[in-house]
Structure 1
Amino acid sequence: MQRRLKLTSYVMKRISTAFLQTVIVLIGIVALIILIWFPLTEGRATHLDLFSTYADPFILYGYGASMAFFVALYNAFRLLGYIGQNKVFSTNSVKTLKNIKHCAILLSILIVVAGLFIRLTHNTEDDPAGFLAICMATTFVAIVVATAVAVFEKLLQNAIDMKSENDLTV
């Protein structure tokens, strides 16, 4: 009976981590589709050829800034892999959390820079309020993610330190 419960617990853990890894992959695919599709629907790009649409400096900046997002997704995928392998209490997990935190901070800085650029250089006939609202919301989300990950990183580091201390005393 005890062995059956352990096996069931192991299977449930593998299913949940595989599900979360699938969700992360789907988030990455949806973000990539949006990055490819959105420039074609943007107002000033409707009358441009394909090269001119994607060669816009602001669109290129958006692609560059999105790299931090995709690196954070990759690190979240790796962290779930460590969880699935029962290697949560390892220095690799702490490094992965640190990478996610740095990516979230970098992403929030890049979003603020983009918002400031649009605010300072927008055409007076344009209304940048919607874009600036999206910038503020996504910056807030990135800061919340960075803060939560920093807390998890600290807790995990403390747990690893306590575990190594207990291993030495036994």
Structure 2
Amino acid sequence: MWCVNGRGDGLERRLEPAITAAAREAVAAAPPAAQDHLLVAWAAAYGRSPDPDKVFHEVIRAIEDIACPLVEPSKAQGGRSTLGTVIGELRNNSFTKWELLLPGHEGQPRDITHLVGMLELIWHAQVSRHGGAPKSRRQDQTEAQTVVHLAATVAHWLSSGVLRRKANP
């Protein structure tokens, strides 16, 4: 049921080895700050003391560490870029400035609609972010485990050049 975690400093719930290996590969592709957030999120999702709210907090920070400088470099340098502003920038310029390395039916790079959808899934699923709102509540464990896997995929895509600026926007 338990195994030593990737850092070697604790226990985590044992998963199918291929799933763990894929997540570790995605984490390894990320910049160091994002790696740290993803590892903390993974431990909060699968460690001996799960903390679903922490998972969401950490995965969003990990994605911001990669996406903000990539999509909004000047805003990121000034500390004004967030996951929300990244999503807005990508959504507003999805067909003119950005593309996915993954080809579509005609073999050309694909539009970024699906990536924006994944970012929105992560962002909107964090209902524990603000108190006092009607939908505000603690995240549950299934949500946390789901979002940490999605975040690992998104982090891998952002870190490995799957999202890229169009050559001639």
Could you say which structure has the greater relative contact order, defined with CA pairs below 8 angstroms and 6 or more residues apart?
A: 2
| Structure 1 length-normalised TM | 0.37
- The structure with more helix, counted as a fraction of residues: 1
- The structure with more strand, counted as a fraction of residues: 2
| Structure 2 length-normalised TM | 0.37
